[in-house]
A and B are shown apart, each in its own frame.
Chain A
Amino acid sequence: MSHDPWLWIGAFLTISIFSFLYKDNPVYKFAEHLFVGVANGYYIALYWHNSLKPNLFEPLSAGQFIYFVPFLLGLLYFTRFIPRISWLVRIPIGFMIGWGAGVSIPATFQAHILKQLEGTIVTPESFVNPITGIWALIIILGVICTIIYFFFSKEHKGIFGFGSRVGIIFIMIGFGASFGYTVMARVSLLIGRIQFLFGPWLGLIK
């Protein structure tokens, strides 16, 4: 069993959160609120040391006065708390949203459309190995039918309806596969906590 007080604190907090499985209780609520507080205190220190100080205040104090522009834009965020001039908060928000939208358009086209189309198109090279050629045909069928299923501007009747039915089969297989992986993910988190309690804290396992 560990003699490190920090490990005992960690173990106590772990068990506090696990107590919620029985029912909500004051110990769980205390741990939950402690988490929110410590996390935000952590973020404050992190944002200062890693972003604001090296990327804004140090360049400003070194004479790079162009940084007054993002500094002033950033201060406009605080106008949200002053009702008379709270509309000014839209300026930095508009800048950020416009920037994000503009940068995302060519990036999405390049990475999520053009490149993915490359992988979907069936060419004679796909049939160098006949088996992988068949898989390539199944892939293109699955992609097209999945897109058909999610196209709600046209009624799913006739050949379109058939494509939609095939699409739902592929989607269900995809979701089933995702569920299978999700089980592994969730159980991993529990295994990690149990490993901590039985290992470093209680010393029962290596």
Chain B
Amino acid sequence: MKRTIPQAICLMIGIVMVVQFFVPHPISLQFNSMILKWVIVLTAFAMVLAIGNLIMHHTAKIEKKREGWYYSLVTLISMVVMAIIGLCLGVESESLFQKIYLNILAPLGSTMFALLAYYMASAAYRAFKARSLEATLLLIAAFVVMIGFMPFGQYLHPKFPAFAEWVMQVPNMASKRGILFGIAFGSIATALKIILGIERSWLGGKE
């Protein structure tokens, strides 16, 4: 029962949604609208779960005074303060909420990703070696695209940007489409396995 009921729900709703796509009857469309509104609400509840997990993890770290527990205090305090500001003071364009977003959250997030530029440069220097035919092809394609799409590419040869564009539109596009087909068939197969109960890892647990 503990596994059967959820699997039955999954099967029913999965089949109904596949069939619904092909049925333009007003009742089908109304049913679809209702389910979509439910999904919007349910996804919001799933987020509450994620936040609950975060609070539990950091609270446990503080209680047990594990290494770096004071950083967990920073996380929890900043989370509560930001939530209260957003919930009570509003989210308008000149609000404190927006200011904190633009001047704390945005710089932190941007800079974390900006570090990648350094790691990418260092990794490209160390690891990008033409050890084989395939690696050499990869290297040549990378150089063509890098030079072709930069403004200075046109000064090397006027047709260089067009050649780089051809590499993107023909061989690159062909390989990406092949991969897209593979992913599409794979995801359809996985979706079917989930609906039919062949794939049950989402149930978790032993009982």
Contact = CB atoms under 8 A, between A and B. Distances in A.
Direct contact of A and B (CB under 8 A): yes
Interface of A: 6-7, 9-11, 13-14, 17-18, 20-21, 29-49, 51-52, 55-56, 66-67, 69-71, 73-75, 77-78, 80-81, 86-87, 90-109, 112-113, 116, 119-120, 135, 138-147, 149-150, 167-184, 186-187, 189-190, 192-193, 196
A105 B104 contact: no
B42 interface: yes
Contacts of B87: 44-45, 48-49
Nearest to B81: A41
Nearest to B147: A180
Contacts of B146: 180, 183-184
A37 B77 contact: yes
A23 B194 CA distance: 45
Interface string B1-23: 01101110111111111101110
A106 B42 contact: no
B181 interface: yes
A30 B71 contact: yes
Contacts of B75: 33-34, 36-37, 40
A173 B178 contact: no
A139 B170 contact: yes
Contacts of A36: 54, 75, 79
B13 A98 contact: yes
Contacts of B190: 101
B74 A42 contact: no
B172 A173 contact: yes
B2 to A, nearest CB: 4
Q: Is the interface of A mostly helix, strand, loop or mixed?
A: helix
A10 B188 CA distance: 45
Contact of B100 (A38, A103, A135, A141): A38
A62 B109 CA distance: 39
Interface string B85-115: 1110001000001011111111111111111
B117 interface: yes
A10 B103 contact: yes
Contacts of A39: 105, 109
A6 B2 contact: no
A109 B189 CA distance: 11
Closest CB pairs A-B (n = 10) = A45-B86, A41-B82, A142-B174, A146-B178, A176-B141, A102-B17, A180-B145, A37-B78, A74-B45, A174-B175
B15 to A, nearest CB: 7
B162 interface: no
B174 to A, nearest CB: 3
Given A45-B87, A51-B44, A94-B10, A116 B177 contact: yes
Contacts of A178: 172
Nearest to B47: A47
Contact of A9 (B16, B103, B110, B141): B103
A30 B68 CA distance: 10
B29 interface: no
Given A37-B77, A77-B45, A113-B185, 13 more contacts: A6-B102, A33-B74, A37-B75, A45-B91, A51-B40, A77-B49, A104-B188, A146-B174, A147-B182, A174-B179, A176-B145, A189-B113, A196-B107
